[in-house]
Amino acid sequence: MIPFNLPPHTGNEEKFVLEAMNSDKISGDGKFGRMCQAWFEQRIGCAKALLTPSCTQALEMAAILIDTQPGDEVIMPSYTFVSTANAFVLRGAKIVFVDIRPDTMNINEQLIEAAITPKTKAIVPVHYAGVGCEMSVIMDIAERHELFVIEDAAQGMMSSYRGKALGSFGHMATYSFHETKNFTSGGEGGLLLINDERFIHRAEIIREKGTNRCQFFRGAVDKYSWVDLGSSYLPSELQSAYLWGQLELADEITLNRLEAWNLYRDAFADLASKRYIVLPSIPDNCKHNGHMFYLKCKDLDERAKLLTHLKQNNILAVFHYVPLHSAPAGKKFGRFHGEDEYTTYESQRLARLPLWYGIEAAVRQQVIDHVIEFYS
C-alpha cells in the first residue's frame, strides 16, 4: 500500500537526539530548544519564537494571551482542524464561522467584516495547504476594529505572502511539527510566533506553569514564584533536537516537496483543461511550500469513487475537515455567519494525494497513472 504520508526524515535527527540524550539537560529550553527558536526568530523576523509540544497548545497559549473571555466571539473558517476552534472554546468563546474562497480554500477576507459584532475579539485565518490568506486585507480590518489576529500557520512554514513569511503578519501565529506536516519534531510539536512584543513577557510565564522561572534563569529575579495562570507548554530537548535535524535542511525539504507538487500539477493539467477536475490555485502574491497536493472532483459521490479506485490499486488518498459548523461540537460552540456557499460543497469534493519529503518518482507515477485511468 502506498501511504498517504511519511514523516519527514533527513537522517540527521539521530545524531542530535543522541547528543541531547547524553547531555545533562533533557527538559525544555536546553541547547537545541534555544537553537531552534533562534533559527525561527532570525528566519521569520518575529519578536519571539517559543517551541510548544503541539500547534494545538500554541493556539491555546495565544487564546490565553489575548485574554479570551466567556462570551467573546472569534472569527475563523469552518473548513479547518478542530484545534483552531477548541483553543478559544476552552476559554469560553463563541466561534463565528465565515465561508471560504473556492480557489484557495482559505477564509474569504471579503466576508469577515460583516461577521464582526461588539463581542468580536479576534480573527484566526488558517493558511490552508500552506497557501497564504489575504493578510493585507485581514490586518486592515483587524486594525480598524481593534481586533487581534492569530494566524493558524500549522501548514505554512516556509511559505510566504507578498514576500514575507506566513506567521509574520498577525499579533501571533502558530506552526505545527506533527508528523503529517512538512517538518516534525519527532511526531508531535509546535511553535508560537509572537510578532507583537507586548505578549512576550506573559507568554514565557504561561508556558512555565504560570511562574517567572524564565526570569529566574536569566538572573532577573532571585527566586521564582507563581505569578499568573499557566500550564506546561514546553517540549522536551529530544523533540527540539529532532527538529534541529530538519531545520538545517529546511530549504532542501521545501524544494523537494515543491518539485513533487509541480510534477503532479503538470501531470493533471490535461484533466483540468477538460474540466474533469479542478487543481489548486496559488495566488500571484503567494509562494507556497508544497505542503499538500489536492484535486477537486465533480462532487462527493465522484470523490468516493476515486478514493475507492485508488485504494483498490493500493494507494491511500484521503479527504479531511468535515466543516466544523456541521459537527456536533461546532453546532454547540459556534455559528455560521452568512451563507455556506463554498465550505460544504468544496470540502466534499476535495481529495488529497500521497506526498512526502523524498517521495519516489515511481510511486508518484503510480498515483498519477491511476488517477488518469479513473477519469478515462
Q: Per CB under 6 A, does 116 bind ligand PLP?
A: no
Shortest Å distance, C-beta 361 to ligand PLP: 27
Residue whose C-alpha is closest to residue 122's, from 103, 156, 158, 98: 98
Q: Does 343 bind ligand PLP (CB under 6 A)?
A: no
CA distance linking residue 57 with residue 36, whole number of Å: 18
Q: Which of 75, 154, 307, 350 binds ligand PLP (CB under 6 A)?
A: 154
* The only residue of 20, 46, 51, 55 in contact with ligand PLP, by rule CB under 6 A: 55
Size of the site for ligand PLP (CB under 6 A): 14
Q: What angle do CA 178, 183, 184 make, to 5 degrees?
A: 45
Compute the least distance from the CB of residue 240 to ligand PLP, in Å: 15
Strands 94-98 and 73-77: parallel
Binding piece for ligand PLP, criterion CB under 6 A, among 43-51, 77-85, 262-270, 364-372? 77-85
- Applying CB under 6 A, does 159 fall inside the site for ligand PLP? no
- Of 56 and 78, CB closest to ligand PLP: 56
Nearer to ligand PLP, 84 or 239 (CB): 84
Interface residue with ligand PLP among 56, 68, 78, 86 (CB under 6 A) is 56
Q: In whole angstroms, what is the distance from residue 218 CA to residue 65 CA?
A: 22
Strand partners, 232: 208
Q: Nearer Cβ to ligand PLP, position 80 or 344?
A: 80
- Beta 334-336 vs 94-98: how paired, if at all? parallel
Quote the least distance from Cβ 131 to ligand PLP, whole Å: 12
- Among 8, 44, 54, 237, which residue interacts with ligand PLP (rule: CB under 6 A)? 54
Binding mask 172-201 for ligand PLP (x = CB under 6 A): ----x-x-----------x-----------
Which of 62, 126, 359, 371 is the binder for ligand PLP (CB under 6 A)? 126
Residues 79-98: x/- map of binding to ligand PLP (CB under 6 A)? -xx-xx--------------
Sole window of 51-59, 165-173, 217-225, 278-286 interacting with ligand PLP (rule: CB under 6 A): 51-59
Nearest CB to ligand PLP, comparing residues 129 and 278: 129
Q: Which stretch binds ligand PLP (CB under 6 A): 37-45, 95-103, 113-121, 151-159?
A: 151-159
Closest approach of ligand PLP to the CB of residue 58, in Å: 8
**HSE-up (13 A, CA, CB side) for residue 84:** 34
Q: Is residue 155 a contact point for ligand PLP (CB under 6 A)? A: yes
Residues in contact with ligand PLP by CB under 6 A are 54-56, 80-81, 83-84, 126, 152, 154-155, 176, 178, 190
